[in-house]
Amino acid sequence: MKKIAFVCLLAFAGSSSFANHTVAAADSIPANDKDVQSIDAILGALYDVISGPAGQKRNWDRMRTLFLPEGRLVATGVRADGSIGKRIMSVEDYINSSGPVLEKNGFFEQEIGRKTDQFGGVAQVFSTYESRKTLADEKPFMRGINSIQLWFDGKRWWVLSVFWQSETPQLPIPAQYLKQ
């Protein structure tokens, strides 16, 4: 069985459709080169695009340009009944469900720690965040970790997925994820 799986993997990796795959534009609006030139830049753009004061529209077209067309956002956490759940969203799902809430109430999320692992064009970033409703808020109302998968296509970085979990009293953020 292992040999069959390995042969199938080799056949897939060697196929011309895989080797010559190009990414279609995520939106008709091109990405700002400054947003996608590095891991630091794309993470900065990701946090910036969702942040802003109450009443301020966000630049959702900018967000679309950061993600691969197949990109996903996944929230996980403990439900009211104690079970653990997840919500998997496309970029459009996120914009439609979270966008109005962020714009109505105000939301500022900033990175307070990061651990990055990279191999070639693949990067996995654990980006620890804290969230405030206004920049003047002394304490964050939420903290957590974004697990962000990125891909470099030889020209720019793309977000493949953002998978996050908020901190709880039962699940504090480990010290190793609070360092820059």
Give per-residue pLDDT as tens, 19-30: 444 444 444 689
Mean pLDDT for 85-98 is 97
Residue 75 has pLDDT above 70, yes or no: yes
pTM, full prediction? 0.83
Residue-level pLDDT at 22: 42
Strands, DSSP E only, in the chain?
A: 67-78, 84-90, 108-119, 122-132, 142-152, 157-166
Residue-level pLDDT at 72: 98
Strand partners, 168: 171
Structural domains of the chain, with CATH: 2-177 (3.10.450.50)
* Tens digit of each residue's pLDDT (9 = 90 or more) over 39-63: 999 999 999 999 999 999 999 999 9
Residue 94 has pLDDT above 50, yes or no: yes
Token look-up 């070639």 returns: 120
Q: Contact, 52 vs 107, CB < 8 A?
A: yes
Residue-level pLDDT at 106: 96
Residue-level pLDDT at 180: 66
Instruction: Count CA atoms closer than 13 A to 39's CA, side-chain side.
Output: 18
* Tens digit of each residue's pLDDT (9 = 90 or more) over 137-172: 999 999 999 999 999 999 999 999 999 999 999 999
Residue closest to 71 by CA, chosen among 163, 164, 161:
161
